[in-house]
Amino acid sequence: MASHRRPKQPSQTYATVLTATAAAAVALSAQPASADPLPDPSKKGVQAQVDRLYEEATQATEKYNGAKETAGRLEKQVEDLQEAAAREQSGLNSLRAQLGSIATAQYRTGGLDPSVQLLLSSDPDGFLDKASAMDRLSAQQVSALHHYESQQQGLQQKRQEATENLNNLAGVRKELGSKKKEIQGKLAQAQKLLNTLTAEERAQIADKEERANRSSERVELGNEASASQRAAAAFGAAKGKVGVPYVWGASGPNSFDCSGLTSWAFNQAGVTIPRTSQAQANVGTRISSMSALQPGDLIIMRTDLSHVGFYAGNGQILHAPKPGAQVRYESIARSGMPFMWGVRI
């Protein structure tokens, strides 16, 4: 007797495996035998993260440079105030000694003048008010006492200013340490990410960076003139540093960060400009249009104004771009940083 049972169907799992296997076979047969393997998206992500960390490190570097510049200014102010206070203290001691001699002479000739007693008391600031009512001082004595009081007040003010500046300096030095730690941390993170790549992948990144460095040897800048002799001189000094390595916080002559290069170059031209890109963005004459730039003008990049370089002509920037790079020419359009404005010094 014939059986009327339905034939057994393959299980759902088995069918899925068959379908996937067939699809894979079709896909493999459709690929040419010499096709390169698909890039690993996680590796591309590593490069993007490294680039972001380098950008953050350069931004922190400009803040570090600003704090360092402030620290230097405060140190100079404290030194000047302390020297001035020492000079005034010396003069005050001499004046007090002279007035003490007057007191000694008066004592030997019949008693100490009450006015001089007041002068040598613990409250010389209130002396003149009391002495004016006594009508016992000569014009010369009044002049000497005014001078003494003025010197004493000036000395106190300088000491107070020096103390305030020292307190400010301590805060700035703390900020310097914090920014330095932040920069070093970001660079360490970037290196840790690079270490996750294979030796071949790291070599490819290094080769790409080297090609960018070598491009400076064959860049076409045109023959446009600079807007001023000082801009031409500064730009000329910077051109002589092509190939020098980027080092955060460095201001030459053997290594630079972005604003270190521009401030150093202008200094070679006899012009002093601020140390940071943010401060350099607000000096000179602002040039809003890129088409109006001339070689030697500064170019301010990024929305936070954290990058600066020289306009080199023909749409090129001469700059110290980032960690691991060298001072070089690059296309502004391909730099990956938005143009904000130019500055003509």
Which sequence positions are flagged as catalytic? 258, 307, 319
Gap between the Cα atoms of 254 and 264, Å rounded: 11
| b (16+ CB within 10 A) / e for 276-305 | bbbbbbeebeebeeeeebbbbbbbbbbeeb
Q: How many CA atoms lie within 13 A of 174 on its CB side?
A: 6
Q: Which residues, listed in sequence order, are joined to residue 308 by a DSSP beta bridge?
A: 300
Q: DSSP letters along 112-170, please?
A: --HHHHHHTSS-GGGHHHHHHHHT---HHHHHHHHHHHHHHHHHHHHHHHHHHHHHHHH
